[in-house]
Amino acid sequence: MQTDSSFTFVLFGGTGDLSMRKILPALFEAHRAGGMLADSGKIVAVARHVADRSEYLQWVNEHVKPHVSKNGVDEAAWASFLTRIEFAKIDLGNPDDFVLLRDAVKDLPGIRVFYLATGPSLFVPICRALASVGLNENARIVLEKPLGYDLKSSNAINDAVGEIFAEEQIYRIDHYLGKEPVQNLLALRFGNALFEPLWRREWVESIQITIAEELGVEARGDFYDNTGALRDMVQNHLLQLLSIVAMEPPHSMDSDSVRDEKLRVLRALKPINPLDIGKVAVRGQYHSGVIRGNAVPAYATEPGVKQNSTTETFVALKVEIENWRWAGVPFFLRTGKRLADRVAEIVVNFRPVPHSALGASALRAGANRLVIRLQPNETIRLYCLAKQPGEGMNLASVHLDLAFDQFFREGQMEAYQRLLLDVINGRLALFVRRDEQEAAWRWVEPILNEWKASNKPPKPYASGTWGPAAASAMLAQHGTCWLEEEN
């Protein structure tokens, strides 16, 4: 991915956790690879707790360097990367300080990218302050999640930002869309005649999408207790993955063609009747338990969590899509903290053969399935049945593996690296359009409202398990179960 696109990348929240762990390491990897970033491109970090550029570079060396290059740091590349970094000491609460920012970037080259790695409460004030000094013109703005607390607050932010930046200037980032297996899902479906004819209700029995974490809320108790798993993971990551799995073939891979098809899926989601929420939505909250031999505390005792909190740390949903391709096929979504393993995957369960001369094992559900693993290792695995060696016709499950790290020796691009390069080069296909976001909020709001109105506590589950038993019971009603494999 060579580029000649010169740029000035302005990073608000330059000393924040996201900048430390993801954004700056991703920019370094693009720099180290050579040719991905224009030589003239500059990074301007914005923060208020650092005195000057020298002190900021010291912070970068201390905090960012440990997060780059799994196989060690190329010191020469690191030194040259630091020459790209400038610094602006700005108090985001003081609009007058943005004059200093304008002066700091006025002579820097290329397209201006403003990355808001801040809390959402600062999105609108920052955008207004940028506009007050003319920095919104011919620029791009990157917004991190969460973008609002519900449909109303999301619309309020989008309305305010939309008065300052045109839609084609706004990059709403969802890092799951930048993951290599998600890109390969598009290639798998639309680049091969083998799968697309089977990708429909006649041949697919059910689909599962799981994003499971071993970690708890860590030091984010205050934030998480006012958010919960439905807002934090379902409204964005899981529904975006679902829309890619279920979308119709776009006529091309340009940004609006892809996002138009995703939007059609989101608008086709079957509305959930509040009276049925107990049947199709399971919410849970982790209690104390053991993960990898270590005792971990209950959510209720985490710092920042309110007493008697009813915030969910686990959600499982049954989702239906009301269109010709997917009518009657259940999609099961699941996400949670303090679960038995860290894994993100998509499981496509194909229907068994209609009649078997080979015995009952050929008729079992899930005998043929496609597993697209997003983390921790990125693979695509196709399961089918084969005869076991020996006498008789005894069938056993076997699989074909595509392990990207073994097949493509040059290494994979991390999600943030790909997405940041897309921003710099003006590619919008992997970013969320406003109407997609609105459709997702509109679908989840009845669940949020019903949970709030009922005030029922979430179902408890022990840390280190796969969540409440009710989540498994929901799938059992459809003759299937969650795929829970060891990594």
| Cβ pair 483, 371 in contact under 8 A | yes
Angle between the 75-82 and 24-33 helix axes, to the nearest 10 degrees? Answer: 120
Tell me whether residue 175 is annotated as binding: yes
- H/E element, 224: helix 221-225
Distance in angstroms (rounded) separating the CA atoms of residues 299 and 288: 8
Residues 67, 32 contacting (CB under 8 angstroms): no
Long-range contacts of 477-486 (CB under 8 A, 24+ apart): 478/206, 478/318, 478/330, 479/365, 480/205, 480/206, 480/349, 480/365, 480/366, 482/208, 482/210, 482/332, 482/334, 483/208, 483/210, 483/345, 483/347, 483/366, 483/369, 483/371, 484/340, 484/341, 486/341
**287 part of the active site:** no
Place of tokens 């920012």: 101
Strand partners, 398: 384
H or E element at residue 32: helix 24-33
Q: Is 159 annotated as a binding residue?
A: no
Asked whether residue 92 is marked as a ligand-binding residue, the answer is yes
Q: Which residues pair with 167 in a beta bridge?
A: none
Pairing of strands 369-375, 379-387: antiparallel
The beta strands (E) that lie in 337-394 are given as 343-350, 369-375, 379-387
Say which of 237, 287, 355, 399 is annotated catalytic. Answer: 237
91 labelled binding-site residue: yes
> Known binder of ligand: residue 213?
yes
179 known ligand binder: yes
On whether the CB atoms of residues 378 and 405 are closer than 8 A, the answer is yes
According to the annotation, is 428 in a ligand binding site?
Answer: no
270 assigned ligand-binding residue: no
Q: How far is CA 47 from CA 14, 26, 116, 134, 306, in A?
A: 5, 19, 12, 20, 30
In the chain, how long is the greatest CA-to-CA distance?
83
Sole residue written with tokens 């762990």? 21
Q: Give the residue numbers of the binding site.
A: 48, 91-92, 145, 175, 179, 213, 232, 337
Active-site residue list: 237
Q: Give the residue numbers of the binding site for substrate.
A: 175, 179, 213, 232, 337
